[in-house]
Structure 1
């Protein structure tokens, strides 16, 4: 059924009448009579089937009660370990911010239907929390009956649920759309992304938004988890190491020899490492120069870089498209992997400042901005005051007012760092 039809008064009246019958002992939804369009009594077949499963588990709609699955401490740990945590900047730009701008809530849940993040305007979140739609709660079909998050996981398909189609009566003033997200390597469902709110939550543009976000999330996770790119924690593994944090890039060979890199050579290695399947000459032009540049210049730089890394382990650069061969890891990827495992201390140990801070290459600035947003958000949401202060002492971040205010809020009164944060905030005029 088209999303606009879900909201028509006639359809909603039909759904409400059918829902009222769910609460009567004679309600039988197991084998409904269906008309040619797949509906029974005018209600969508997928909704009726979900209602039937919900009745089997919960007996009646009044049995659908919000259940807290993760308390605050446990929720923070589950968030850190979930794959969504490592791609939050992407999820924020693709889904959370557009939903918030539209007055809707964006929710991210795990593979069991437990909500990990619910974001949107404060007034909308307050209303949603009143019905139990908040981080840490279980919105699986088994617990809450028919809803978009629960049905998307049960069916492994994109789902829209409007108003009275929800099994729980308390949710009848809301509508929602959800799609499952799958792991790029195993194909298993790792969670759901959902948009919840009023009628706009089932508008015709919401499912394409969710679908494109799920696709982008899968592509980004694929980059993080593909064996060719995944980093082994074993520091004895043979291979070269690329250092791109801070203003002095370098390449360390497996035998410990360190070769300083020019900014351009570091940019090329970083970009080729980011795209293991290779990049065309014209693609590198776009990634390396804000304006200008040419494939001739790219070829010349690649040839110089080949000479610079010659003899460093098995690392080499192939052409058509340009791509790296041999073992290469980087401080950036080690830090990213540490964050995905919830190990903030290790990530901060790798992080020495912005990625190639002197670079104006568009591809490099995008990589840097993505990681900077990831580590900053992780620290603000889940970091200790000591970790936040380490971040605030890094070049480029000393004037981050929000970070300093968070240190001020979390650090004990006697902490020297707290007093230092006060001094720095006063100097900033705060």
Structure 2
């Protein structure tokens, strides 16, 4: 990955020398070349609260029995598929860790290769721990939440000496309509964690996450409340985790087969015969008996969601239902690429082999890609390039290079990807 001034030997020597002075509660002068001002300010605050950088101790905010429930209630749980495809999977492939935390800096998930997670445990970087500035001093998660901006912290810039062999980048996730901080996403590892391409990746992920969460939650005086879906049910099938929501905000995680059936019926409002549904679900080996069994199970799943129910002969959805597929199509039909991109979270049911689903997905993917190439801004193209289906799309990456201003850090990230593709 591309180098950064934060890792240059001269700068790190200055930082280490300055950090050594912290043991005597002395913050170095800021005149002349030296430690970055934002880091110095954080060191000052950390000294005031924690005193000794050698005495920082990890604090467990949630024990294992509490953590599962806290995760389930946090908004990130609802968009984990998006976070996996945009950030966690590419970071894991690069040997980096991704941490997802709440708005107070408490880590809820730490994802990455087992060997890297094992090493991170030695500094207490594990789910359930508090990495706010108040507890751990200067770090990317804590400082990003404090400053409400994207932050990179390299090696000895950390307040705690135990963390000096690591570097990290972090950005807060905010609700796009209100600016309320919903959580923090962080990339931690060796030098690559503060490379020039990490912040653009984090920023695009945070933007996509905020857009996704704005559809699911509205801020209120007590925190976040689920968004109802109007008068009908709402089906989400783009991305990794299919869900069905009721008008009151109740959400059901769907099995792959049930998501396939609901999508096919939602896209065919006049209904589909038993044989026709079997043909759309299985290329070979499907049977009408199996279809009837799946329909019976699906009825039990959805019978309490508003007025939604299934008719037979032909199979037809009754009641008001909308979907991210339909909303993406409507946005594209109206020439509103931004709205379409907000609803499109990735390939339609990416694990599905059902012929009818693959046809729906291929059509939508081709439409949104072509619309972005023809009418999208470079920011929209870069967001699309964060999806698994477009990460190695050279035409999309070339368009980012063509449209983005020279100073945009996303250009560097696009160049790195193109170089990896042999361009």
TM-score category (smaller protein):
0.5 to 0.7
Describe the superposition over 1:91-130 as per-residue Cα deviations: whole angstroms up to 9, x where unpaired: 0111111111111111111111111111111111111001
Closer, same or farther: CA 172–23 of 1 in aligned 2, 3 Å: same
Greater Cα radius of gyration, structure 1 or 2: 1
Counting only pairs closer than 5 Å after superposition, residues 26-105 of structure 1 correspond to structure 2 as: 27-28=26-27, 32-35=29-32, 42-105=34-97
- 1:59 Cα deviation after fit: 0.9
Describe the superposition over 1:158-190 as per-residue Cα deviations: whole angstroms up to 9, x where unpaired: 000000000000000000000100123432111
Q: Equivalent residue of 1:178, what SS? A: strand
Q: Equivalent residue of 2:165, what SS? A: coil
1:360 to 345, 355, 358: 358
Counting only pairs closer than 5 Å after superposition, residues 153-168 of structure 1 correspond to structure 2 as: 153-168=145-160
Work out whether residues 308 and 317 of structure 2, in 8 Å CA contact, stay in contact via their aligned partners in 1: no
Closer, same or farther: CA 274–222 of 1 in aligned 2, 3 Å: farther
Structure 1 residue runs without a partner (length 5+):
36-40, 236-242, 285-320, 323-353, 368-430
- 1:229 Cα deviation after fit: 3.3
- 1:224 Cα deviation after fit: 2.5
- 1:4 Cα deviation after fit: 1.3
The answer to whether structure 1 residue 142 and structure 2 residue 134 are counterparts is yes
Structure 2 residue runs without a partner (length 5+):
219-226, 231-245, 251-257, 270-302, 341-351, 366-423
- 1:254 Cα deviation after fit: 8.6
C-alpha distance in structure 1 between counterparts of 2:5 and 2:308, whole Å: 66
2:265 to 249, 253, 269: 249
Work out whether residues 152 and 179 of structure 1, in 8 Å CA contact, stay in contact via their aligned partners in 2: yes
C-alpha distance in structure 1 between counterparts of 2:177 and 2:83, whole Å: 19
The answer to whether structure 1 residue 152 and structure 2 residue 168 are counterparts is no
The answer to whether structure 1 residue 216 and structure 2 residue 176 are counterparts is no
Per the normalisation by structure 2, the TM-score is: 0.58
C-alpha distance in structure 2 between counterparts of 1:53 and 1:152, whole Å: 14
Per the normalisation by structure 1, the TM-score is: 0.58
Work out whether residues 128 and 134 of structure 1, in 8 Å CA contact, stay in contact via their aligned partners in 2: yes
The equivalent residue for 1:202 is 194
The equivalent residue for 2:287 is none
The answer to whether structure 1 residue 172 and structure 2 residue 170 are counterparts is no
The equivalent residue for 2:323 is 270
Q: Equivalent residue of 1:223, what SS? A: helix
Work out whether residues 307 and 318 of structure 2, in 8 Å CA contact, stay in contact via their aligned partners in 1: no
The equivalent residue for 2:9 is 9
Q: Give the RMSD, CA atoms, in angstroms.
A: 4.0
